[in-house]
Amino acid sequence: MFTNAFKSRFEKLTLYFGITAFLLHIAVIFALRLGLLNPQYFPENLFGNPFAALFSPFSSLLVYEVYLLIYYLRQSYTKSVAKQLEIMALILLRNCFKDIGQLTEGKVTLLNSDLTKDLSGFVALLLLVWIFYHLDAKRTEVKYELTAAFIKLKERMSVFLLVVFFALSFYSFSIWLVDLIRYADNHAALMDPSHIFYTEFFTLLTFVDVLLLLSSAKNLQNTILIIRNSGYVLATFLARISFSLEGWERIILIVLGAAIAVFMLWISRRSVFIANADKAQ
């Protein structure tokens, strides 16, 4: 499941699924506009405007990004955190296509629309992702002896996360489809599609990160790396909390979590900490 061959096949599968989902989504939207389907069975924010159909292929892309997060967790904690930031940025970008429908229909003003919030958060987060990768590319690797037990734990956690990822994806999507079918009877029962899967996954990811952090404390002599990894855990936790918030509070918390991850990577590579780490070897 972590081979290049599997990664390539999974990439193609998500690509085909995204194209299929987009075509089905846009077909339903035009069927609604032609009066072939009853609009009471479909939420307006997802099926009221053709631009909303772009929500589907981006959802497929996000699935592949989550797989990459787990894939890189085995190799580098920092790379997996970078993927986590990319996932949050893509979630905000995906929401923009869902939000733009109401704006083009003239139902809300630009300043009061969710599009302004999501787009602002996306731009800020994308800049932080760029800084994160820039810092990661410049850092000099310092090798630390990791016990075989810790390396094995990372392997097991990655396999566990991947199994949960597939199971949780299928379960969350199935539950949402059932709620969509019942949408005409109870509109309030339909969960925000932006929260499907990610609330539970980031909850689990936070606990996995904490477990790896506690295990790495026995394997890393460099205290600043322990602090850095603790900051990464905090960034994951803030990302999880953001799914429980709305409006600007959600955007601020996402950007704050990303900023903490960037700061932790930057501060961990300051010369004073590197020098102290070398003395400890």
pLDDT at 280: 46
pLDDT confidence bin for 52, thresholds 50/70/90 = confident
Other beta carbons within 10 angstroms of residue 37's beta carbon come to: 16
Mean pLDDT of 70-99: 87
pLDDT at 137: 86
- Angle CA(120)–CA(122)–CA(124) in degrees, nearest 5? 70
Mean pLDDT of 85-107: 80
Mean pLDDT of 13-27: 92
The percentage of the chain sitting over the pLDDT mark of 70, rounded to a whole number, equals 81
Mean pLDDT of 45-68: 85
Q: Is the pLDDT of residue 113 over 80?
A: no
Average pLDDT of the chain, as a whole number: 82
pLDDT at 144: 53
pLDDT at 20: 93
Measured CA to CA, the distance from residue 71 to residue 74 in angstroms comes to: 6
Residue 174: both structure tokens together? 């199935």
Q: What is the pLDDT of residues 167-194, one digit of tens each?
A: 888 888 888 778 777 776 666 556 666 6
Q: Is the pLDDT of residue 276 over 80?
A: no
Mean pLDDT of 14-25: 92
pLDDT confidence bin for 275, thresholds 50/70/90 = low
pLDDT at 123: 95
pLDDT at 186: 65
pLDDT at 249: 93
Contact 277, 251 (CB under 8 A): no
pLDDT at 108: 67
Mean pLDDT of 228-233: 90
Q: What is the pLDDT of residues 118-167, one digit of tens each?
A: 899 999 999 999 999 999 887 655 555 556 766 777 888 888 888 888 88
pLDDT confidence bin for 50, thresholds 50/70/90 = confident
pLDDT confidence bin for 281, thresholds 50/70/90 = very low
pLDDT at 191: 63
